[in-house]
C-alpha cells in the first residue's frame, strides 16, 4: 500500500518489535529509505558515516524510546536509498538533500546528530540552514581537522575502485569471517566496531553503492587528509547547544579533533567514551545517557542560530 502527496510517494512503513519503523519514499524521483521511531517529542535526526546506513543508530533509537521523534535516513548512495550516477555527493549536496527530505516528512527543525562523515554533513547543514538546527551532536565527527585513517585516504587514489570491489567481495566469505575472528582474537578493536566495519564493506557489494561511496570519499577526502574543514565556521555555533562525543581509541579520526573543537567552543559539552570510531554502537547505553542529558539541559533555541555579526 502506498500514498502519493504533492509528488511524494510513500510506502507503508514496516515496524519491528523495538518500535522502529522502516519507511520508503520517493523524493525528486529517487528512492529514499529511513528509520523512524518515537512520538510527539522534539525531533532528532541521526546521520551515519561513509559506507554506513541508518542501521548503525538502531540500538540508540530503541533506547531513546518515546523521548523524541527520531529519524535516521540512509544518505544518498547508502543503505536502501538510491545511488544515482549523477547525484551530488558533496557535503553541501548532502545538506541540501537532507533539507528536502526533512521538509517532505514534516520536520521544520531538529537536533542533528552526525557520526564521522555524517558529522561533517551535520556541520555543513548547520552552516547552510542555521534556522533548521536546534542542537548539534558531533560523534567522532569529520570536518574538525585534516587527519584521517590511511585506508580512507587511499580510497582517493587511482585503482581504488578495484580494491574496494575486492574487499566488498571478501567480506561475506569464509576468508572475511576468518579476518573478523582474528581481529577479535587479537583485540585490535571492539566487537561492535568490527561489526560496523564489516557491515560497511558488505554494503559495497553493489556496483552503484561502490561508485557512490567513491564519489563521496573523493569529495570529503584527499591523499593529504580531509577536504571538508568546518573549523572556520565553528564560531557561528551556539557552543552551549553543541555536544561532542569521541572514542578514546578511535583509529580513524583522532579524538584530539573533538577535544580541540571543544576548546574552541567554550560552553560546549565533550564526552570521551572508552570506544573506537563507533561510540554509539560500542557503548550505546552510555552514549544515549549522554545524549538525553544534553537534550534535557538545553531548552528551545538554535545551535546555529546566529546574529548578523556572527554569521558575517
Which of 250, 258, 268, 302 is an active site residue? Answer: 250
Whether residue 78 lies in the annotated active site = no
How far apart are alpha carbons 284 and 278 in whole angstroms? 9
Whether residue 277 lies in the annotated active site = yes
Which of 127, 277, 280, 302 is an active site residue? Answer: 277
Whether residue 250 lies in the annotated active site = yes
Which of 53, 81, 109, 116 is an active site residue? Answer: 116
The grid coordinates listed for 69 are: 521523534
Catalytic residues, by residue number, are 116, 250, 277
Amino acid at each position: 500500500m502506498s500514498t502519493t502527496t504533492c509528488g511524494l510517494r510513500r510506502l507503508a512503513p514496516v515496524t519491528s518489535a523495538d518500535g522502529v519503523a522502516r519507511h520508503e519514499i520517493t523524493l525528486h524521483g529517487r528512492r529514499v529509505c529511513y528509520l523512524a521511531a518515537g512520538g510527539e517529542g522534539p525531533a532528532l535526526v541521526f546521520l551515519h558515516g561513509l559506507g554506513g546506513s541508518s542501521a548503525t543508530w538502531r540500538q540508540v533509537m530503541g533506547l531513546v524510546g518515546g523521548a523524541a521523534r527520531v529519524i535516521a535516513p540512509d544518505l544518498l548512495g547508502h543503505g536502501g536509498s538510491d545511488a544515482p550516477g549523477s547525484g551530488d555527493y558533496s557535503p553541501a549536496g548532502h545538506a541540501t538533500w537532507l533539507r528536502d527530505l526533512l521538509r517532505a516528512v514534516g520536520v521544520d527543525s531538529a537536533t542533528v546528530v552526525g557520526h564521522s562523515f555524517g558529522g561533517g554533513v551535520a556541520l555543513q547543514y548547520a552552516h547552510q540552514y542555521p534556522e533548521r538546527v536546534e542542537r548539534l551532536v558531533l560523534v567522532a565527527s569529520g570536518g574538525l581537522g585534516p587527519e584521517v585513517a590511511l585506508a580512507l585516504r587511499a580510497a582517493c587514489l587511482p585503482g581504488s575502485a578495484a580494491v574496494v570491489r575486492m574487499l566488498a567481495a571478501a567480506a561475506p566469505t569464509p576468508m572475511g569471517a576468518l579476518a573478523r575472528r582474528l581481529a577479535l582474537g587479537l583485540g585490535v578493536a571492539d566487537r561492535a566496531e568490527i561489526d560496523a566495519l564489516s557491515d560497511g564493506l558488505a554494503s559495497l557489494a553493489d556496483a552503484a553503492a561502490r561508485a557512490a561511496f567513491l564519489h563521496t570519499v573523493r569529495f570529503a577526502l584527499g591523499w593529504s587528509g580531509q577536504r571538508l574543514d568546518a573549523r572556520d565556521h565553528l564560531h557561528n555555533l551556539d557552543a552551549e547547544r553543541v555536544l561532542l562525543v569521541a572514542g578514546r581509541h578511535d583509529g580513524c579520526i583522532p579524538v584530539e579533533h573533538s577535544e580541540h573543537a571543544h576548546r574552541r567552543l567554550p560552553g560546549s559539552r565533550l564526552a570521551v567514551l572508552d570506544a573506537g570510531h563507533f561510540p554509539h554502537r560500542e557503548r550505546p547505553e552510555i552514549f544515549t545517557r549522554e545524549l538525553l542529558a544534553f537534550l534535557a539541559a538545553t531548552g528551545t533555541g538554535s545551535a546555529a542560530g546566529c546574529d548578523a555579526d556572527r554569521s558575517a
